[in-house]
Amino acid sequence: MLKVEGIQTFYGNIQALHDVSIEIKEGEIITLIGANGAGKSTTLMSISGVEQARNGKIIFEGQDITHMDPDKIVQLGIIQVPEGRRIFPYLTVAENLDMGAFLRDDKEEIKRDIEYVYSLFPLLKERRSQAGGTLSGGEQQMLAISRALMAKPKLLLLDEPSLGLAPIIVQQIMSIIKKINKEQKTTIFLVEQNANLALKLADRGYVMETGRVTLSDTAKNLRENDAVKKAYLGI
């Protein structure tokens, strides 16, 4: 579904990504783990077109999207839930969901999708008339994921969905991510600092260090890898 081939991304003259290559097959959950500042978020932003790669290629469903504008990439079905959630704080929950469906015109299907996200996160239905900015951190993360689902993603990019959340909320959100993958057949690329959690959820994983992919394997093998255990799993 997605092929990232040797991309190099820069912030001004500072190179953030060095020849990064990643493959994602349809229906998979892939995770990218690594320390703070390793380049994980930059990888997602390069795929979504927010920070365009200077060199290399990004191919989605056979189409070169390397230098495509972010809005065009969204229309192809690549939807990102950014780190820090970034919901619209002054809009209600319902209005935030409407914004997720902004590019769609299939009204009956939109209604069904709203009911689906409310079934995933019943709390959001209870708070549908409440301003997004007044929700708790966990509820805002639920809303950010739900807003992304309203865009009908083929590939869902999740950037640190567990960040700053209580463990019980993290477990709930991770189980919902798995459910979305199974029920909606949505392919998921998960960037996560909680490596143990991410590798339990994913089919395959990549390890990133200082802007380079240093290791890739099945999630099971990465969990059992001594270097990964020592560096990221605290074992």
113-143, pLDDT tens digit by residue? 999 999 999 999 999 999 998 998 888 988 9
| Position 118 in a domain | yes
Helix (H) or strand (E) holding 43: helix 40-47
| Position 18 in a domain | no
Query: Which of 97, 121, 151 lies at the terminal end of a domain, its last residue?
Result: 151
Range scoring the smallest mean pLDDT among 29-33, 34-38, 93-97, 213-217: 34-38
| Position 128 in a domain | yes
pLDDT at 138: 85
Sheet strands (E) in the chain: 2-11, 14-24, 29-34, 55-60, 63-64, 78-81, 155-159, 187-191, 204-209, 212-218
| Position 40 in a domain | yes
The per-residue pLDDT for range 79-108, each reduced to its tens digit, is 999 887 788 899 999 999 999 988 888 888
- Residues contacting residue 96 through CB under 8 Å, at least 6 positions apart: 87, 88, 132, 143, 146, 147
| Position 226 in a domain | yes
Report the number of secondary-structure helices (H) and strands (E) in the chain: 10, 10
Binning pLDDT at 50, 70 and 90, where does residue 233 land?
confident
| Whether 129 and 110 share a structural domain | yes
The per-residue pLDDT for range 193-203, each reduced to its tens digit, is 889 999 999 99
pTM of the predicted model, to two decimals? 0.91
| Position 93 in a domain | yes
CA dihedral over 176, 182, 183, 186, signed as positive or negative: positive
Higher-pLDDT residue of 172, 10: 10
Q: How many domains does the chain have?
A: 2
Q: Let me know: does 208 contact 39? Beta carbons within 8 Å.
A: yes
| Calpha distance 183→120 (Å, rounded) | 11
Q: Let me know: does 161 contact 141? Beta carbons within 8 Å.
A: yes
| Whether 176 and 232 share a structural domain | yes
Q: Let me know: does 22 contact 30? Beta carbons within 8 Å.
A: yes
Residue 108 structural domain:
89-151
| Whether 73 and 184 share a structural domain | yes
| Whether 174 and 73 share a structural domain | yes
Measure Cα distances from 219 to 12, 43, 177 in Å.
34, 19, 16
| Position 61 in a domain | no
* SS3 of residue 12 by DSSP: coil
* SS3 of residue 184 by DSSP: coil
**HEC profile of 61-78:** CCEECCCCCHHHHHHHCE
The per-residue pLDDT for range 138-175, each reduced to its tens digit, is 889 889 999 999 999 999 999 988 887 788 888 888 89
Binning pLDDT at 50, 70 and 90, where does residue 235 land?
low
| Position 58 in a domain | no
| Whether 93 and 105 share a structural domain | yes
Query: Which of 133, 151, 169 lies at the terminal end of a domain, its last residue?
Result: 151
Domain of 71, CATH number, reads 3.40.50.300
| Whether 127 and 70 share a structural domain | no
Amino acid identity for residue 207 in this structure: V
| Whether 181 and 230 share a structural domain | yes
| Whether 144 and 163 share a structural domain | no
Q: Let me know: does 208 contact 40? Beta carbons within 8 Å.
A: yes
| Whether 73 and 157 share a structural domain | yes
Percent of residues, the chain, with pLDDT higher than 70: 100
Angle, helices 137-149 vs 93-100, to 10°: value is: 30
| Whether 73 and 182 share a structural domain | yes
| Whether 214 and 186 share a structural domain | yes
| DSSP strand pairing (29-34 vs 78-81) | unpaired
| Whether 231 and 170 share a structural domain | yes
